[in-house]
């Protein structure tokens, strides 16, 4: 591995210098030229020449570094040993203390003992530009608009770039899929750019080849293909939303008439597509406008946190959860789902139902609404049905029924029918042409390809992205079929499971490295512009497709530009003018799809008879993992260590089972004394026999899971994901077949008897009756608006012995509206990216040492243990209250207490109050007594127990935010309210001799939050948003009775349940 990256680094060097000429080639797109220029130029001692970077940063400088003693050790032995100690950011910490390693370290310690005395820094250099690009001001980040393509959607983003290094991603307010916000995946995607495990060159059978060599080979193949009119030429892609790529592919197919284009997207449900066909007889894209709906019913749809447009959905939805006073009204959300999702957890009413039974519920609802003959339901569901039906009807034209991505076509068709009958079409949702360039049905398209491969009809297979060998349904047996293809070419960012079996592998450029374009869920197109020249010898799909076209070697930029030149004519915008605007705004104006009138060709009565699965049969459902999705993010340390929204598990996936089923199967959790409630949980390992295949997984008891339904989340069990992602969790694809992509029956679960350690950051889910997360129903709130202040509350200001400090200038504060927060995790990753927060690895998380500055706590209301009847925090003790508990999320950053308990106990004054009321943490003064952490009631402080920060991998040094100190071993750290943003904002304002405007300074978490739940600002200014929120009666502080006077306060959560369902 080391040798590999060494070798790669020499290359990077060349790539970067090579970047200049081909950039200069385009005199248009000035900003683009400027960016690429930035590459091999520098900020003070900072150069992008990676070799030099390494030298510099080892050379005891680099603005964003400060060092502990041992890093001053230049003794090669010691250096080398530090490398070995931390091979990789996000590497799992290996605590094994073998004797040899130990003796080495002893030697090393002697080596650095020698220079302990010397405090004198040696010479370092300033390496200025040779020709400084126009418009660049050293030390001032630039922002560029681009988009992250993802499934059938693309999220528009603004990327912060420091002297040519993209360091942070923000949402693009002008972009429909972003509206200024992002989600965890978008935030984390920048780490993939700098991932040292990415494939770095073109490979032919594992041998390094130059791009030109590939071009020649491609031309050879192309001529051969032309000869047979493209017969045997197959192209396999994922969902394509890039107009340019589609255009290129279509041209290619025109060039090779007999060639075929297949698609396989393992984690996007075909239900919507098929459902639309069923309902309208054609491909139709449904655009939801939840903001306009007063009552929403989600049929197993996680529309707030996944699927096309979810960020926009969350924003619209949250705006309807805004509550300024008791007279405001709320919308109401019903969710029927098999497994708790972010959407379900923040619903007003949630009904756990097996995925398979959802269709029955939909039919019943249709029946209630008179679209078909009534369908009888039993138990809770029946009661529910009446309430929901009446509620929906009440809000005719202002209600919305959303069918889940992973539900069958029938459910979608029914949803369309119901929405139509409720008069919602054109109001709370509308239809457009499909966003996918070429809608094709999964898995049929892939099935067809496999059949052809099997029949030996495929001579040349071009796999553009994706990892079918890993994620294709196992009954296709893709591997053996791929072996029969004479020439297979794989384009992917990593040399992964599939690449191994392909003759050629081309490393795929990150979206921040290449020109491209993509459509958002509503059709709006964005030109994807590169922020940095490729770090490695990587190429985009455009380049590879071009290689087989009649214009081999056509740069992606030209392709994109060419396509949009054509389009601009249609859009009636002269390209030379429009282009710059498109790049600047991050959207191509006028590309948003216009709603189409899709008339319903479907009647609920026409559906075949529904055969329900027996109630006691266990149903297995497959879902993409909330963090690593279908597996493409497996090597992303930030996402691996990110606690999954509901389970709070990190680094692994698990078989999710309901508490009741857990009883039956005798699976349980053992809280190990190490980490325990906050760290390691050992849970029972089970064998899963399903679809004639077997997989072994750790079982996780999840309150709220539908009783006889278990979840296998996709994306884990990778074998060639890279250093971070390989061999984590279990691979659910192994038991997934093409005829049961999302729901499978008749499987068997048998405990193996042993248990497996899982890293869970919050096991205990009970508030123990403390005033931490206060909630009420809308009715209660209207009756008693000040409910949040009952019970414990902060003593009045004046009854303190001490004179209160006065904050005359700015008083920074934060208000978090628990009514809006849905626990989606965007803030957690945003914070990690902004503040150079390290990844510590599973073992350390299991010891309770994760470093996130903001965590999201998940509590279940009124959960009790059957045994004691007392409050329980452990799902292992079954109790009916765990079958469908009310779930609440609470983001907890540093509370920035005015009477900070941490400050008073610090012996060296490393944490003190600023004049603006910030709880400053001074890393370079901290000696690491950890007293502050002990004395912090909220436990928001994080300690560098070991050398968690990766000081060695050069790529990761490029990623760091130069505005924030990089902490090393032995110091405490915590949320600073993004003090670097505050300072820079203040400095700009002061230069203009004006006060800071409200909203001028936003913290990383605030700007990422799709729900606008986090608001930061000057609490001293009565007109600021934050002051207004704090003035509300819902506003309270955690554990106010401690009189720590937090600056971070919360607005109590108010749910809006249906009175009908409440009673009885």
Partner 1 sequence: MKENRSLLFGVMGEFSTPEQILSAAKQARSAGYKHVTAYTPFPVEGLAHAIGFRWTAVPLITLIGGIGGGLTGFGLQYWVAAITYPMNIGGRPLNSWPAFIPVTFELTVLGASIFAVVGMLALNKLPQPYHPIFSVERFAHASTDRFFLCIEARDPKFDLAETARFLQSVAAEHVSEVKYES
Partner 2 sequence: MSVTQPPLGTPEIRRLDPVLGPGHTYASVTDKIASVVLTRPLGIGWLAGFALTFTVVMVLFISIAWLIIKGVGIWGINVPIGWGFAIVNFVWWIGIGHAGTLISAILFLLNQKWRTSINRFAEAMTLFAVACAGIFPLIHTGRPWMAYYMMPYPSTMGIWPQFRSPLIWDVFAVSTYGTVSLLFWFVGLLPDLATLRDRAKNRFQQLIYGALAMGWRGSAHHWHRYQSAYLLLAGLATPLVLSVHTVVSFDFAVAIVPGWHTTIFPPYFVAGAIYSGFAMVLTIAIPLRKAYGLEDFITMRHLDNMAKVMLATGLIVAYGYFVEFFMAFYSGNKFDVFLAEQRLHGPYSHYYYALILCNILTPQLLWFEKVRRNVALLFVMSLVINTGMWLERFVIVVISLTRDFVPSAWGRYQPTFWDFSTLLGTIGLFAMLLFLFVRGLPAIAISEMRELVGQESHSGRDRK
Partner 3 sequence: MAQIFHRSANFLARFSLLGAVVLGGVALTGVLVVARSPYITNERVSREQPVQFSHKHHVGDEGIDCRYCHTSVESSAYAGIPPTKTCMNCHSVLFNNIGYLEPVRESYRTDQSIQWVKVHRLADYVYFNHSIHINKGIGCSSCHGSINQMPLVFQASPLTMSWCLDCHRDPQPNLRPRDQIFNMDWKAPADQEEAGKKLAADYKLRTTAELTSCSTCHR
Which spans of this chain sit near partner 1 (rule: CB under 8 A)? 802-805, 897-904, 909, 912-915, 1045
Which residue's CB is nearer to partner 2, number 66 or number 129? 66
Q: Is 674 in the site for partner 2 (CB under 8 A)?
A: yes
Taking the complex as a whole, the smallest distance from the CB of residue 908 to partner 1 amounts, in Å, to 12
User: CB within 8 A of 545, min separation 6: which ones?
Assistant: 245, 248, 249, 252, 462, 464
* Residue 43 binding result from partner 1, partner 2, partner 3, none, given CB thresholds of 5 to 8 Å by partner type: partner 3
* Residue 456 binding result from partner 2, partner 1, partner 3, none, given CB thresholds of 5 to 8 Å by partner type: none
Buried b (16+ CB within 10 A) or exposed e, 586-617: bbbeebbbeeeebeeebebeebeeeeebeeee
Q: Is 167 in the site for partner 3 (CB under 8 A)?
A: no
Which of residues 88, 273, 855, 960 is near partner 2 by CB under 8 A?
A: 855
Helix (H, G, I), strand (E, B) or coil at 88: coil
Q: How far apart are CA 184 and CA 829, in angstroms?
A: 6
Taking the complex as a whole, the smallest distance from the CB of residue 161 to partner 3 amounts, in Å, to 15
Closest CA to 645 of 689, 692, 594, 702: 702
Instruction: Mark out the alpha helices in 835-918 (DSSP H runs).
Output: 842-846, 901-905
Closest CA to 603 of 388, 367, 389, 390: 367
* Residue 803 binding result from partner 3, partner 2, partner 1, none, given CB thresholds of 5 to 8 Å by partner type: partner 1
Which residue's CB is nearer to partner 2, number 562 or number 912? 912
Burial class (CB in 10 A: 0-12, 13-18, 19+), 53: buried
Which residue's CB is nearer to partner 2, number 332 or number 1047? 1047
* Residue 61 binding result from partner 1, partner 2, partner 3, none, given CB thresholds of 5 to 8 Å by partner type: partner 3
Going by their DSSP bridges, the two strands 332-337 and 295-299 should be labelled as parallel
Q: How far apart are CA 776 and CA 774, in angstroms?
A: 7
Which residue's CB is nearer to partner 2, number 792 or number 989? 792
Taking the complex as a whole, the smallest distance from the CB of residue 904 to partner 1 amounts, in Å, to 4
Choose the binding region for partner 2 from 330-338, 467-475, 767-775, 816-824 (rule: CB under 8 A): 767-775
Q: Please, which of residues 345-404 interact with partner 2 by CB under 8 A?
A: none
Q: How far apart are CA 921 and CA 592, in angstroms?
A: 47
Q: How far apart are CA 362 and CA 218, in angstroms?
A: 51
Q: Is 963 in the site for partner 3 (CB under 8 A)?
A: yes
Residue 201, token pair as written in the block: 């060159």
Closest CA to 809 of 976, 989, 980: 989
- 3-state SS of 981-1002? HHHHHHHHHHHCCCCCCCCCCC
Choose the binding region for partner 3 from 489-497, 666-674, 975-983, 1050-1058 (rule: CB under 8 A): 975-983
Q: How far apart are CA 657 and CA 155, in angstroms?
A: 33
Taking the complex as a whole, the smallest distance from the CB of residue 968 to partner 2 amounts, in Å, to 9
Taking the complex as a whole, the smallest distance from the CB of residue 899 to partner 1 amounts, in Å, to 4
Helix (H, G, I), strand (E, B) or coil at 276: helix
Which of residues 143, 211, 923, 945 is near partner 3 by CB under 8 A?
A: 923
Q: How far apart are CA 942 and CA 938, in angstroms?
A: 11
Taking the complex as a whole, the smallest distance from the CB of residue 132 to partner 3 amounts, in Å, to 4
Closest CA to 710 of 629, 631, 791, 622: 622
| Terminal alpha carbon distance of the chain | 63
Q: How far apart are CA 739 and CA 1024, in angstroms?
A: 56
Q: Is 127 in the site for partner 3 (CB under 8 A)?
A: yes
Q: Please, which of residues 1041-1060 interact with partner 2 by CB under 8 A?
A: 1042
Q: Give the contact letters, 59-78, x = binds to partner 3 (CB under 8 A), - = no.
A: --xxxxxxx-----------
Which residue's CB is nearer to partner 1, number 643 or number 917? 917
Taking the complex as a whole, the smallest distance from the CB of residue 949 to partner 3 amounts, in Å, to 13
Which of residues 99, 100, 131, 611 is near partner 3 by CB under 8 A?
A: 131
Choose the binding region for partner 3 from 78-86, 643-651, 910-918, 1047-1055 (rule: CB under 8 A): 910-918
Which residue's CB is nearer to partner 2, number 151 or number 841? 841
Which residue's CB is nearer to partner 2, number 156 or number 703? 703
Q: Please, which of residues 101-120 interact with partner 3 by CB under 8 A?
A: 119-120
Q: How far apart are CA 873 and CA 857, in angstroms?
A: 13
Residue 790, token pair as written in the block: 């009952």
Burial class (CB in 10 A: 0-12, 13-18, 19+), 5: middle
Which of residues 990, 1022, 1031, 1041 is near partner 3 by CB under 8 A?
A: 990
120 half-sphere exposure, CB direction, 13 A CA radius: 3
Q: Give the contact letters, 845-884, x = binds to partner 3 (CB under 8 A), - = no.
A: ----------------------------------------
* Residue 804 binding result from partner 3, partner 2, partner 1, none, given CB thresholds of 5 to 8 Å by partner type: partner 1
Q: Is 427 in the site for partner 2 (CB under 8 A)?
A: no
Q: Please, which of residues 43-82 interact with partner 2 by CB under 8 A?
A: 68-70
Taking the complex as a whole, the smallest distance from the CB of residue 776 to partner 2 amounts, in Å, to 20
Taking the complex as a whole, the smallest distance from the CB of residue 69 to partner 2 amounts, in Å, to 5
Q: How far apart are CA 818 and CA 1034, in angstroms?
A: 10
Taking the complex as a whole, the smallest distance from the CB of residue 945 to partner 3 amounts, in Å, to 20
Which residue's CB is nearer to partner 3, number 96 or number 130? 130
Q: Please, which of residues 921-980 interact with partner 2 by CB under 8 A?
A: 925-931, 933-935, 937-939, 941-947, 969-972
Bridge partner list, 629: 625
- Count the site residues for partner 2 by CB under 8 A: 74
Q: Give the contact letters, 97-136, x = binds to partner 2 (CB under 8 A), - = no.
A: x----x--xx-xx------x--------------------
Q: Is 123 in the site for partner 3 (CB under 8 A)?
A: yes
Going by their DSSP bridges, the two strands 233-237 and 460-464 should be labelled as parallel
Taking the complex as a whole, the smallest distance from the CB of residue 160 to partner 3 amounts, in Å, to 15
Q: Is 675 in the site for partner 2 (CB under 8 A)?
A: yes
Taking the complex as a whole, the smallest distance from the CB of residue 537 to partner 3 amounts, in Å, to 22
Q: How far apart are CA 816 and CA 855, in angstroms?
A: 13
- Count the site residues for partner 3 by CB under 8 A: 56
User: Are the C-beta atoms of residues 644 and 650 closer than 8 Å to each other?
Assistant: yes
User: CB within 8 A of 593, min separation 6: which ones?
Assistant: 285, 287, 432, 433, 435, 522, 523
Length of the chain: 1064
Q: Is 777 in the site for partner 3 (CB under 8 A)?
A: no
Q: How far apart are CA 250 and CA 260, in angstroms?
A: 10
Which residue's CB is nearer to partner 3, number 867 or number 908? 908
Taking the complex as a whole, the smallest distance from the CB of residue 774 to partner 1 amounts, in Å, to 25
Q: Is 135 in the site for partner 3 (CB under 8 A)?
A: no
In the block, residue with structure tokens 């000035």: 30
Q: How far apart are CA 965 and CA 950, in angstroms?
A: 13
Q: Give the contact letters, 17-46, x = binds to partner 3 (CB under 8 A), - = no.
A: ---x--------------------xxxxx-
Q: How far apart are CA 664 and CA 684, in angstroms?
A: 13
Q: How far apart are CA 112 and CA 404, in angstroms?
A: 60
Q: Is 918 in the site for partner 3 (CB under 8 A)?
A: yes
Helix (H, G, I), strand (E, B) or coil at 394: helix
Choose the binding region for partner 2 from 177-185, 337-345, 480-488, 901-909 (rule: CB under 8 A): 901-909
Q: How far apart are CA 946 and CA 105, in angstroms?
A: 15
Q: Could you list the residues that contact partner 3 (CB under 8 A)?
A: 20, 41-45, 47, 61-67, 119-121, 123-132, 137-140, 808-809, 912-916, 918, 920, 922-925, 963-965, 976, 979-980, 982-983, 987, 990-991, 993
């Amino acid at each position: 591995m080391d040798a590999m990256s060494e070798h790669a680094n020499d290359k990077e060097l060349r790539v970067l210098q090579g970047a200049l000429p081909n950039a200069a080639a385009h005199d248009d797109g000035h900003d683009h030229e400027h960016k690429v220029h930035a590459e091999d130029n520098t900020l003070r001692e900072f150069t992008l020449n990676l070799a030099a970077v390494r030298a510099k940063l080892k050379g005891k400088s680099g603005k964003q570094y400060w060092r502990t003693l041992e890093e001053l050790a230049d003794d090669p032995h010691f250096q080398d040993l530090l490398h070995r100690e931390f091979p990789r950011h996000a590497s799992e910490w290996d605590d094994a203390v073998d004797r040899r390693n130990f003796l080495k370290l002893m030697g090393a310690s002697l080596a650095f003992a020698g220079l302990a005395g010397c405090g004198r820094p040696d010479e370092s250099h300033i390496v200025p530009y040779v020709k400084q690009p126009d418009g660049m001001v050293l030390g001032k980040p630039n922002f560029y608009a681009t988009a992250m393509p993802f499934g059938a959607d693309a999220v528009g983003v603004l990327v912060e770039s420091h002297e040519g290094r993209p360091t942070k991603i923000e949402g693009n307010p002008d972009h429909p899929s972003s509206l200024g916000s992002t989600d965890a995946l978008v935030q984390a995607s920048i780490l993939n750019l700098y991932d040292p495990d990415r494939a770095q060159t073109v490979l032919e059978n594992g041998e390094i080849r130059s791009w030109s060599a590939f071009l020649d080979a491609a031309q050879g193949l192309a001529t051969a293909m032309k000869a047979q009119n493209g017969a045997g030429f197959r192209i396999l892609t994922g969902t394509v939303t890039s107009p340019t790529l589609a255009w290129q592919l279509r041209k290619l197919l025109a060039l090779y008439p007999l060639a075929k284009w297949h698609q396989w997207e393992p984690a996007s449900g075909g239900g919507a597509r098929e459902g639309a066909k069923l309902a309208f007889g054609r491909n139709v894209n449904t655009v939801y406008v939840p903001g306009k709906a007063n009552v929403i019913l989600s049929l197993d749809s996680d529309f707030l946190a996944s699927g096309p447009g979810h960020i926009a959905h969350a924003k619209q939805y949250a705006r309807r959860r805004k509550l300024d006073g008791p007279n405001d009204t709320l919308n109401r959300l019903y969710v029927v789902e098999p497994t708790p999702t972010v959407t379900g957890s923040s619903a007003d009413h949630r009904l756990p139902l097996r995925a398979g039974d959802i269709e029955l519920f939909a039919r019943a609802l249709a029946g209630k609404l008179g679209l078909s003959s009534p369908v009888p339901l039993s138990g809770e569901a029946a009661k529910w049905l009446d309430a929901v039906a009446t509620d929906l009807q009440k809000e005719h034209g202002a209600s919305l029924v959303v069918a889940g991505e992973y539900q069958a076509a029938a459910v979608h068709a029914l949803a369309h029918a119901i929405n139509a009958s409720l008069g919602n079409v054109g109001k709370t949702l509308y239809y457009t042409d499909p966003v996918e360039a070429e809608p094709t049905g999964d898995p049929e398209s892939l099935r067809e390809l496999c059949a052809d491969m099997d029949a030996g009809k495929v001579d040349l297979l071009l796999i553009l992205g994706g990892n079918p060998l890993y994620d294709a349904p196992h009954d296709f047996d893709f591997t053996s079929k791929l072996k029969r293809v004479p020439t297979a070419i794989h384009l992917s960012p990593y040399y992964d499971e599939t690449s191994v079996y392909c003759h050629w592998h081309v490393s795929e450029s990150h979206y921040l490295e290449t020109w491209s374009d993509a459509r958002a869920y509503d059709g709006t197109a964005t030109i994807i512009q590169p922020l940095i020249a490729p770090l490695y010898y990587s190429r985009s799909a455009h380049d590879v497709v071009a290689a087989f076209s009649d214009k081999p070697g056509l740069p992606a930029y030209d392709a994109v530009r060419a396509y949009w030149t054509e389009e601009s004519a249609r859009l009636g915008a002269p390209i030379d003018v429009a282009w710059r605007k498109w790049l600047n705004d991050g959207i191509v104006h006028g590309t948003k799809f216009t709603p189409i009138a899709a008339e319903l060709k479907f009647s609920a009565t026409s559906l075949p008879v529904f055969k329900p699965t027996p109630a006691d049969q266990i149903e297995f459902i497959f879902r993409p993992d909330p963090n690593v999705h279908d597996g493409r993010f497996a090597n992303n340390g930030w996402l691996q260590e990110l606690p999954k929204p509901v389970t709070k598990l990190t680094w692994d996936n698990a078989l999710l089972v309901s508490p009741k089923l857990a009883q039956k199967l005798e699976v349980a959790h053992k809280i190990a004394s190490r980490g325990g409630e906050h760290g390691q949980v050992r849970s029972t390992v089970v064998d899963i026999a399903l679809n004639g295949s077997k997989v072994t997984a750790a079982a996780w008891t999840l309150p709220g899971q539908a009783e006889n339904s278990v979840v296998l989340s996709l994306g884990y069990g990778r074998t060639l994901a890279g250093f971070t992602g390989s061999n984590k969790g279990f691979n659910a694809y192994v038991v997934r077949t093409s005829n049961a992509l999302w729901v499978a029956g008749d499987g068997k679960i048998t405990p193996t008897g042993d248990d497996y350690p899982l890293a869970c950051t919050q096991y205990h889910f009970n508030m123990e009756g403390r005033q931490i997360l206060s909630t009420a129903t809308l009715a209660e709130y209207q009756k008693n608006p000040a409910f949040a202040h009952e019970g414990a509350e902060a003593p009045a200001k004046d009854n303190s012995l001490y004179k209160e400090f006065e904050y005359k200038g700015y008083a920074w504060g934060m208000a978090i509206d628990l009514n809006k927060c849905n626990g989606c995790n965007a803030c957690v990753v945003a914070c990690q990216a902004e503040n150079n927060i390290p990844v510590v690895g599973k073992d350390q998380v299991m010891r309770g040492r994760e470093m996130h500055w903001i965590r999201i706590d998940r509590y279940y209301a009124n959960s009790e243990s059957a045994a004691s009847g007392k409050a329980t925090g452990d799902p292992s003790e079954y109790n009916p209250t765990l079958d469908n508990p009310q779930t609440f999320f609470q983001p907890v950053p540093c509370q920035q207490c005015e009477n900070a308990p941490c400050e008073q106990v610090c012996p060296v004054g490393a944490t003190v109050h600023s004049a603006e009321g910030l709880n400053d943490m001074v890393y370079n003064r901290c000696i690491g007594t950890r007293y502050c952490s002990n004395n912090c009631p909220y436990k928001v402080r994080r300690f560098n127990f070991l050398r968690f920060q990766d000081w060695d991998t050069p790529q990761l040094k490029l990623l760091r935010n130069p505005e924030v100190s990089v902490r090393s071993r032995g110091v405490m750290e915590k949320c600073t309210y993004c003090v670097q943003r505050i300072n820079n904002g203040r400095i700009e304002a002061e230069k203009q001799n004006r006060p800071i405007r409200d909203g001028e300074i936003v913290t990383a978490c605030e700007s990422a939050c799709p729900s606008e739940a986090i608001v930061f600002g000057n609490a001293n200014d009565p007109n600021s948003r934050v002051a207004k929120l704090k003035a509300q009666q819902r506003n309270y502080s955690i554990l106010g009775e401690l009189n720590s006077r937090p600056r971070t306060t919360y607005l109590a959560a108010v749910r809006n349940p249906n009175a009908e369902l409440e009673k009885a």
